[in-house]
């Protein structure tokens, strides 16, 4: 993501990334989170550019470097005007500060009620006679699959299938559940896969499968529909 601000000329500017809840800053020398006093390079230099008569300071942040964990991290991106030869966040003038929540290298929605990632699901018959079903689920963001097989080998997924109501006001009927312990870990493609033998589903009905993925202590859900013939 890009951080940009209009600034006066004649100064140098930099950013400091704070993790306020944990009382640490990001050290650009070691690419780790450390106490402010222990950071070798706490400031990330910003580039100056002229746009007509205006001067803009900007820098591109690689959020994957800052937080590739599956557990969301609340950070504060603070911009400073450098007074001397090197950044000094404890004494330099702070110009702006912006809170962000990041996870798996992505900025999460400002509305925390919205899912940060989508669960992409498929449901297929595995034989022409329909004797078993095969389900897959993966966590995605901005069209990219989150590499859970490397980021969180303990991530889990469960599938549940219900039959849609066939009468007005009718209740959804539970068909079967594939528990997380049965599904196992994400494969090398970061996809959860499970097969259910002999589902014995009623023909000519519409069904909904729900996949529930848990990673980094956060639960994400997604649904897809399929029809039997």
Distances in Å between the Cα of 38 and the Cα atoms of 23, 28, 74, 141, 206 are 12, 12, 21, 34, 59
Residue 203 is predicted with a pLDDT of 86
Q: Please give the average pLDDT of every successive group of 10 residues along the chain, which has 229 residues.
A: 92 96 95 95 95 92 92 93 93 94 87 78 76 94 94 96 84 93 96 93 91 94 91
Distance CA 228, CA 122 (A): 15
- The pLDDT value recorded for residue 125 is 76
pLDDT at site 131: 79
CATH number of the structural domain 118-227: 2.60.40
pTM for the model stands at: 0.82
pLDDT given at position 53: 87
Contact 132, 139 (CB under 8 A): no
The candidate with the shortest Cα–Cα distance to 155, out of 202, 110, 117, 106, is 117
Query: Residue 113: its pLDDT value, please?
Result: 53
The residue ranges of every structural domain in the chain are 2-107, 118-227
* pLDDT of 110: 65
């Amino acid at each position: 993501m890009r951080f940009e601000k209009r600034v006066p000329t004649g100064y140098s500017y930099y950013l400091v990334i704070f993790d306020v809840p944990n009382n640490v800053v990001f050290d650009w020398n070691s690419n780790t989170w450390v106490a402010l006093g222990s950071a070798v390079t706490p400031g990330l230099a910003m580039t100056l550019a002229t746009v007509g008569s205006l001067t803009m300071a900007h820098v591109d942040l690689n959020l994957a470097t800052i937080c590739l964990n599956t557990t969301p991290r609340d950070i504060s991106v603070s911009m400073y005007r450098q007074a001397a030869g090197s950044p000094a966040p404890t004494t330099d003038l702070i110009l702006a500060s912006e809170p962000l929540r990041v996870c798996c290298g992505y900025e999460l929605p400002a509305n925390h009620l919205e899912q940060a990632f989508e669960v992409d699901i498929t449901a297929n018959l595995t034989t022409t006679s329909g004797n078993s079903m095969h389900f897959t689920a993966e966590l995605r963001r901005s069209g990219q699959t989150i590499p859970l097989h490397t980021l969180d080998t303990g991530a889990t997924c469960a599938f549940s299938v219900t039959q849609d109501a066939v009468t007005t006001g009718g209740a959804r009927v539970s068909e079967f559940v594939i528990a997380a312990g049965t599904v196992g870990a994400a494969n090398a493609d970061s996809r959860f896969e499970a097969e259910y033998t002999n589902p014995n589903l009623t023909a000519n009905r519409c069904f909904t499968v729900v996949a529930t993925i848990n990673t980094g202590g956060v639960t994400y859900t997604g649904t897809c529909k399929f029809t039997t013939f």
